[in-house]
Each structure stands twice: as C-alpha cells, then as structure tokens.
A and B are shown apart, each in its own frame.
Chain A
C-alpha cells in the first residue's frame, strides 16, 4: 500500500444545504492511505451531515468526492462499499437479534455473494466463498477480541463490546477506508481507550479511517490530522497540536474571553 502520492479520498468544495439551512459549506480535505483523520466540532456543527454527503446517504448540493481515483459524488452507500469505502452509524451499529458471527457474515456480503444462481443452487463457488469468509471472520473475531462472544446475540453484549462489533461488521466488508461516526459516544473512559486502541490497530493493518467525534481528548490521542468544523465550515485543519493551539478553535470551544487570555499567555514574554 503506497503512502504519499494521490490521496485515497479527496473532498473538494463539498456543500450541503437543506432549504435555507447551510449545513455544510465548501468543505475540502483529503485522506491518504494509512491515515486517520479526525473530524471534530460542537454538536450541530455539520460533522454527520458531511459524512452523510460523502457516504451517499444524501446527494451533496455541490462539490466533488473522489475515492481511489473514481469520482464517487453522490454514489449510493452500497456502491461505495464495493469500492472499499465503508461507514458506521451513530445509532444502528449491530443486528441485535443475531449472533456476533452472523453479524459479521452480514457485513461480509460482498465476499459471500457468488451471484444469484450460484447462491440459489449453493454451487461450489458459493461454498468456497462461504468457507473463505468463515475463516476470515474467525481471524477478525480473534483480532478484535470478540472470539469469546462469537455465538452470543449482539443485544446481550455490553454496550462497549457492541461498539467493537459495529467495527467488526464494517471490517468484514474489507474496506480501504472506514468512516466511524461517534464510535465512543456513551462509552466509559476505559471503553473509550479500548476503542481508540482498536482503531489504531485497524490503521496498523493498512486501513485508513475518518473518525467523527466531539471529544477533543479522544480525537487528539488518535488522529494524525484533525479537521475542525464550526457552523458547517472548516475552522482549522492540521495536526492535533496545531489545531488545539489555533485561536479560532479555542474561541469556538471555550469562548472569546478564553481565546484572548490564552493568546496573551502564549505571547507573554519572560521579561514581563
């Protein structure tokens, strides 16, 4: 997998308006192979809308999305998944009534489906694909520490484990880029650390990630670069350190007075 060169995902001038509401305005960013990009912003800043516009849930009002050299603006989610761009949702992340293993099988549709007639007669091709996916799922469950829950129904799992399963389902599709919408919402600090480690391991296996959250501590401990969105627009983009010292970001997060105070403190020379 190459690093550098052309970005895996390029978003240019993405806008999404609903009537008079400009939910996302002129957003541009890139994600390279093996990179984790964080998207952060206060509630209602347009983070999820931006992801929805990229992932085909909505057709963007304006802008271009390029994935792996293909122009994919407004593509339906299933076509993006075929190309290797898979997302998770904030709310619905697992199939509650199914076992962990069956959840993963459902995620692996692209690698299980041999074509209509092969599926219907359960041909040699269908059986070979099934065997290969079962092996892959075994590996995946082991890797994510879910093996002990393989035959447990998803709704009986602790919430934190369900979140991990949500990532396992996405991983079963064998993506090149995974978009995680608030993967740690509602998790304890310990569970949050676990999810962060999992995402780091996913990246270590060569998969890029976009992680959306409003928790600066979580995002800065995880991401290579961070995009801060405010009122649907880019406020800042850069490494976590750059972004966190950006006066506009501090102002948006902590208020105007704080920004001024911080700026003063930063500029305060030792002689004063």
Chain B
C-alpha cells in the first residue's frame, strides 16, 4: 500500500475468469430472483426484495466511487436528487415516467459533474468530511425549497410509473430489470481495462499515473457515472413508496450505503449486493425488536470489520477454499491484505 493512500481500502482481489462454479451460482441466483414474487405472492417479502433491488443499484454505484479510493458520504443525496427530479417532473410537469427517469439520471450526474471535480481533489478523511457536509446541504435544500419539494413533509401521493405497476409483482420485475442492467454495467466496467486502472490507482496512485493513466479524469468520470446511476434508484424508490421526504436522503442514509459496501466487501460488486441484502433484510427480520436493531447492527458491523476486513465476500471465499480443500490461496491473500 502506498503512503499516499490515506484510508486503507484494501487491494483488488486477483483477476480471474469466471469459472463453471460461478456460472452455476449465477444461474441459481437468476432462477431464485425470477421465481421470488411467484413463490411469495402477496407477501411482504416481495416488497423487501424490491427494496433490495433498488439499494443494490445505490450500493454498487457507490462502489464505483469507493474503488477509486474515495469514500463518499453524500451518495444518498444524489439518490435524492434523482428521486425528486423524477417525482416533480411526473407530478408537476406531467412528464411520462420514462422521460422523467432519463432526467432523474441526468440531474444527479450533472450535480456530480459540478461538485465532483471540486470534492475529488480531497482525499481520505477530508473527502469523507466534506461529502458528509455536502449531503447535509442537499438535505437542507430539500427541506427549504418548499415550493418545489414540499419542505420537510415532502411530496405525497406519488403515482406509480405506470398504472400496471401498482401490482407489487410488476414493480418487482421492473426493479429487477433495472438492477440487473445497472449492476451488470458496474461489474462490466470494473472488469474492463478501466477497472484495472481504477484498482491500480487506489493501490498506488503515483505509480499508476506514470503508466499514463489520467487518474483525476477517471475519478471524475466514475463519480459522474455513479451519481447518474444512483438516480435510477432514487426514481424507482420514490415512486414505489408513494411519498418522498428529505429525511430519506441525509448523511446517515448515505452512511447506510457505505456500510453495505463495508459489510459485503468494498472491492467486489458482489459484496455491495450482499451488503444490501443484509442491511435491508435485517431490520425487517428484527421488526419486533426495534430498540435492539441498532445494537445488533453495531455488533455485526464490529465483528465483520474486525475479523473480515474484506467483508462477507471474504468469508465466502474462505468457505469455498475450505470446501475445495485448496488451502486458502485466495482467502488468505484477501485476509492478509485487509489487515495491512
């Protein structure tokens, strides 16, 4: 790890080609995802799964920023910009949802293009602090711009994108489609030469720049793409909830997206998805114990961070290497790196 890296974000796992095992797991996951709303028709579990789809988009897009070496504490603010843009255009301007969605991608991307080049000059804890403040500023704008956003009460009775999406099963499949597209895009991006450069610049920024990588430009472009994608989550989420309020888009909610990445594993898109599943499902499972929720949260977070710096993806890698008997080539590498 280079001395320039102010926060240890871990190294990229070795690049491997997808093997037969991975294909089998993907096929199984695909089958489960497609069958889910049919098996649990009319159940609360369909809603939870839809929420997971939306948060997967948020967590994976945030990982694009984290992988460049910057932990953004304002990502949920960009989700909010996307959400408000979509809702306002549909409800006040009468736009069809598909056009409003495009605007909901463009608006946070534009905001990211303006603020990114300024914020990304900061590194480490300074970036974390300033993005935290930026997230708070955006939340205050949502509260104070009453004529547009409805103030702290927000906007009510938001229609579904299309009438047929009043059916939770339909909403689930639409969210699944967007999640597959957005997450697939992130995975593809990180497996490309751009992803290689991004992982390299986090581990040795100077060394990478000397290889001809325009480090700063790539950081800015990734920030813009991530903010744009976050708008997809914003729009889908707001129209599903029927209501949009500033409280959903503050720094604490941004922290949630960061924690998803930390829990699951910050250097692997699968980690972001696992984190999203965990953090969305857990509060719902613990509904009867509201006062204990945060305690459980804290304990799990501490255990994961202390024993598995590579996140849950690391745990899976360890289990796999134990199962296949290939003693810990991959897992120990990930584990050892996380500790340095």
Contacts and interface: CB of A to CB of B under 8 A. Distances in A.
Interface of A: 55, 57, 76-78, 81-82, 86-89, 91-99, 102, 105-110, 112-114, 116, 119-120, 122, 126, 153, 169-170, 172-173
B196 A106 contact: yes
Nearest to B204: A92
Nearest 5 interchain pairs by C-beta: A81-B212, A97-B11, A110-B212, A119-B192, A106-B200
B1 interface: yes
A133 B236 CA distance: 42
14 contacts: A57-B206, A78-B214, A89-B206, A92-B4, A95-B200, A97-B203, A98-B14, A102-B15, A109-B211, A112-B196, A119-B192, A119-B193, A119-B194, A173-B210
A113 B196 CA distance: 10
Interface residues of B, number: 30
A114 B11 contact: no
B333 interface: yes
Interface string B195-218: 011001001101111111111000
A179 B301 CA distance: 45
Most B-side CB within 10 Å, residue of A76, A78, A99, A110: A78
B211 A106 contact: yes
Contacts, number: 100
A78 B213 contact: yes
Most A-side CB within 10 Å, residue of B203, B207, B209, B210: B210
B41 interface: no
A262 B333 CA distance: 57
Most B-side CB within 10 Å, residue of A89, A102, A105, A119: A119
Contacts of A81: 209-212
B125 interface: no
B188 interface: yes
Nearest to B209: A77
Contacts of B210: 55, 77-78, 81, 86-89, 170, 173
A113 B209 contact: no
B12 interface: yes
Nearest to B203: A95
B2 interface: yes
A78 B193 contact: no
Contacts of B4: 92
Contacts of B163: none
- The SS class assigned to the A binding surface is mixed
B18 interface: no
A102 B14 contact: yes
Contact of B207 (A89, A113, A153): A89
A119 B185 CA distance: 12
B207 A109 contact: no
Nearest to B5: A92
Interface in B122-180: none
B243 interface: no
Given A78-B215, A102-B14, 12 more contacts: A57-B206, A76-B209, A78-B214, A81-B210, A82-B212, A92-B207, A95-B207, A96-B11, A109-B196, A119-B192, A120-B188, A122-B192
Contacts of B197: 106, 109, 113
Interface string B7-19: 0000110110000
Contact of A91 (B3, B189, B193, B209): B3
B253 interface: no
Given A97-B12, A112-B193, A92 B212 contact: no
B3 A169 contact: no
A96 B188 CA distance: 25
Interface in B59-79: none
Contact of B337 (A97, A99, A110, A173): A97
Contacts of B200: 95, 106, 109
